[in-house]
């Protein structure tokens, strides 16, 4: 239940629309009752052959009510749907705002298909919360009480019967369904998430599954997930039908009792016979408002689970981001960086990825970080970007600890090329303009030339995940994007690992020229061309094992020197 409070909070913000939908819903309910009540009275009255003007008056009343009923029903639908859709969009926005800060780590816990199912499916489910859970009981009580108030003037007994009907359909039967429901434990949402997860994995991994001849097994898993989902859907459908049937049975029983008791009262002379048909019609119509109560427990349980699945993802996200990190870093100035005994272990891992790493990068210096794969180079850059918080030690940019720096500010002032770069479906131009909106085609083309992609036109298409580009082309496009950004801190994570040596050399020349007065950190997969660097940091198993200039490291004849020898031998 606790998670539904978030949904309730969204509902309450739409007070005006809620009030209007209840008002129009009430009017629609009441006009329907009056409409059928008057019709019943009209039929009985007509049998007694009253003066024509009485009948004409009643007929006019029936027509007028029909008209009002349609109008207020329209108002009810209009306002309740408007409230629902505003609420849904509020939920999506607030959910996304809570999810965003968790983004880098969210995939440790959730698979993308599952997340998608939650964001789309579970939010969609919450649309029923207002329409099917929050609203029907309010309307039911308002309409029933008004009707009972009216019926009391004709017969206490019939009013009492209707009241019992209200208790049955509005309280006892829904409560019984709720108990049944919690015993059954619907697995619908979980089944849908499983299906969505299996489907995304199959689609993402289709090629690999085919090459490794594992497609059939995965397909079978998908089929199982699909069948489980269908089974759950069917079961839910059955339950809903059963609930409907029970609820209708109760309504009709009460209406039948009204008829029987009414007939008895007429023969006893306690009720004028001309009102009997009216009372029966009123009862029948009134129970229309009780029908939604049959599916209410279903929807309540559904929404409870949907809210739980949705909000458990982002739970505590406010608490995590609580210390306000609002310090800004200086504008248009090369930045000094310092790591002080920094350690970091990934959640759930035993071995630290970074252990007691310390170094200083003066403002405007050029640094290369080298070391075997898995030695913690990428993690180091991520710590510098504040994507993960350090376990121990501090990372300083100028005078500020990175945790205190506003991430938006930090990220907007760094030219980053990550090991994996994302490109969006669209044109080359659109993908480059991510750096800055206002760049001219001329600038874009000149940078494309620097990364030797001059054969590309700005209007060329980039497919989803840049599938139509080679690894090296993607890297060059990412470098171009960083160059276009033109900030004063460069963080490059093996930006040229898929680019041939000659092109790499030319691109680096352009890069170093543009960055000549800036602070630059380059994680390098190759040991050539590092002579120009001010400092080389050698990492192994999360630790800095050597640091110095190229010549210092060669003279020292340590780890770097040996790696260099091996590289030479391999290349010879």
Strand partners, 400: 397
Q: Which does 50 bind (CB under 5 to 8 A by kind): Mg ion, ligand ADP, none?
A: none
In the set 374, 399, 467, 516, which binds ligand ADP (CB under 6 A)?
A: 374
The H-or-E segment that residue 139 falls in is: helix 135-151
In the set 174, 262, 376, 386, which binds ligand ADP (CB under 6 A)?
A: 376
Helices (H), 385-521: 407-412, 428-432, 441-450, 471-485, 501-514
Does position 104 bind ligand ADP by CB under 6 A?
no
Rounded Cα gap, residues 239 and 350, in angstroms: 48
Determine contact, residues 428/459, Cβ cutoff 8 Å.
Answer: yes
Does position 375 bind ligand ADP by CB under 6 A?
yes
The least distance separating Mg ion from the CB of residue 474, rounded to whole angstroms, comes to: 16
Does position 475 bind Mg ion by CB under 5 A?
no
The least distance separating ligand ADP from the CB of residue 103, rounded to whole angstroms, comes to: 13
The per-residue DSSP string of 488-535 comes to: SEEEEESTTTTS-HHHHHHHHHHHHHHTTTSEEEEE-S--TT-TT-SE
Residues 399-428 that bind Mg ion (CB under 5 A): 419
In the set 125, 375, 378, 524, which binds Mg ion (CB under 5 A)?
A: 378
Q: Which residue has the tokens 């009253």?
A: 50
Q: Which does 529 bind (CB under 5 to 8 A by kind): ligand ADP, Mg ion, none?
A: none
Does position 379 bind Mg ion by CB under 5 A?
no
Total of residues contacting ligand ADP (CB under 6 A): 11
The least distance separating ligand ADP from the CB of residue 373, rounded to whole angstroms, comes to: 4
Burial zone of 491 (CB within 10 Å; 0-12 exposed, 13-18 middle, 19+ buried): buried
Q: Measured at the alpha carbon of residue 180, what is the angle toward residues 174 and 183, in degrees to the nearest 5?
A: 145
Total of residues contacting Mg ion (CB under 5 A): 2
The interface region with ligand ADP, picked from 90-98, 274-282, 291-299, 377-385 by CB under 6 A, is 377-385
Q: Which residue has the tokens 């094992």?
A: 545
Q: Which of 470, 496, 476, 501 is nearest to 567 (CA)?
A: 501
Residues 335-364 that bind ligand ADP (CB under 6 A): 346, 349, 353
The least distance separating Mg ion from the CB of residue 525, rounded to whole angstroms, comes to: 9
Q: Which does 165 bind (CB under 5 to 8 A by kind): Mg ion, ligand ADP, none?
A: none
Does position 379 bind ligand ADP by CB under 6 A?
yes
Q: How many CB atoms lie within 10 A of CB 551?
A: 9
The least distance separating ligand ADP from the CB of residue 97, rounded to whole angstroms, comes to: 24
What phi and psi, each to the nearest 5 degrees, are found at residue 537? -110, 125
Nearer to Mg ion, 367 or 378 (CB): 378
Rounded Cα gap, residues 254 and 238, in angstroms: 25
Q: Which does 297 bind (CB under 5 to 8 A by kind): Mg ion, ligand ADP, none?
A: none
Strand, helix or coil for residue 129: helix
Determine contact, residues 190/118, Cβ cutoff 8 Å.
Answer: no
Does position 197 bind Mg ion by CB under 5 A?
no
Rounded Cα gap, residues 401 and 247, in angstroms: 64
The least distance separating ligand ADP from the CB of residue 525, rounded to whole angstroms, comes to: 9
Q: Which does 446 bind (CB under 5 to 8 A by kind): Mg ion, ligand ADP, none?
A: none
- Give the residues lining the site for Mg ion (CB under 5 A): 378, 419
- Give the residues lining the site for ligand ADP (CB under 6 A): 346, 349, 353, 371, 373-379
């Amino acid at each position: 239940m606790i998670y539904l409070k978030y949904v309730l909070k969204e509902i309450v913000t739409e007070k005006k629309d809620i009030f209007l939908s209840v008002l129009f819903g009430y009017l629609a309910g009441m006009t329907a009752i009056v409409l059928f009540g008057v019709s019943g009275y009209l039929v009985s009255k007509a049998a007694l052959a009253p003066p024509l003007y009485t009948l004409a008056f009643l007929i006019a009343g029936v027509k007028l009510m029909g008209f009002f009923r349609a109008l207020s029903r329209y108002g009810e639908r209009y306002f309740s749907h408007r409230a629902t859709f505003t609420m849904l969009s509020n939920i999506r926005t607030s959910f996304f705002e809570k999810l965003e800060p968790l983004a880098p780590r969210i995939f440790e816990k959730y698979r993308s298909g599952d997340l998608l199912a939650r964001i789309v499916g579970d939010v969609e489910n919450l649309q029923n919360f207002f329409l099917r859970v929050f609203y029907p009981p309010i309307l039911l009580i308002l309409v029933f009480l008004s009707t009972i108030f009216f019926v009391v003037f004709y017969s206490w007994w019939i009013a009492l019967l209707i009241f019992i009907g209200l208790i049955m359909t509005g309280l006892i039967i829904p409560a019984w369904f709720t108990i049944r429901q919690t015993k059954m434990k619907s697995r619908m949402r979980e089944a849908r998430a499983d299906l969505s997860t299996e489907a995304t994995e199959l689609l993402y991994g289709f090629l690999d599954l085919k090459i490794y001849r594992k497609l059939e097994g995965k397909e079978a898993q998908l089929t199982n997930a699909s069948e489980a989902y269908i089974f759950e859907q069917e079961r839910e459908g059955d339950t809903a039908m059963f609930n409907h049937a029970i609820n209708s049975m109760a309504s009709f029983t009460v209406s039948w009792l009204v008829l029987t008791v009414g007939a008895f009262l007429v023969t006893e002379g306690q009720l004028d016979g001309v009102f009997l048909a009216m009372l029966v019609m009123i009862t029948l119509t009134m129970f229309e408002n009780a029908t939604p109560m049959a599916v209410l427990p279903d929807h309540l349980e559904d929404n409870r689970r949907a809210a739980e699945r949705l909000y458990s993802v982002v739970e505590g996200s406010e608490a995590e981001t609580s210390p306000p990190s609002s310090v800004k870093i200086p504008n248009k100035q090369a930045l000094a960086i310092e790591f002080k005994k920094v350690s970091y272990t990934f959640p759930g891992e035993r071995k630290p990825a970074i252990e007691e790493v310390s170094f200083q990068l003066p403002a405007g210096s050029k640094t290369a970080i080298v070391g075997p794969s898995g030695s913690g180079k990428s993690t180091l850059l991520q710590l510098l970007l504040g994507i993960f918080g350090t376990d121990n030690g501090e990372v300083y940019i100028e005078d500020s600890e990175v945790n205190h720096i506003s991430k938006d500010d930090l990220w907007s002032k760094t030219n980053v090329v990550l090991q994996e770069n994302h490109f969006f479906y669209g044109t080359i131009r659109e993908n480059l303009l991510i750096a800055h909106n206002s760049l001219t085609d001329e600038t874009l083309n000149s940078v494309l030339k620097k990364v030797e992609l001059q054969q590309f036109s700005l209007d060329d298409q980039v497919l989803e995940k840049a599938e139509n580009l080679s690894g090296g082309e993607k890297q060059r496009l990412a470098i171009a994007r960083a160059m276009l950004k033109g900030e004063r801190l460069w963080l490059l994570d093996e930006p040229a690992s898929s680019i041939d040596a000659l092109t790499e050399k030319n691109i680096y020349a352009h890069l170093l020229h543009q960055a000549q007065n800036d602070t630059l950190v380059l994680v390098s997969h190759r040991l050539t061309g590092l002579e120009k660097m001010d400092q080389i940091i050698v990492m192994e198993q999360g630790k800095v094992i050597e640091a110095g200039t190229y010549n210092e490291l060669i003279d020292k004849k340590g780890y770097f020197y040996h790696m260099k020898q091996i590289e030479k031998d391999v290349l010879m």
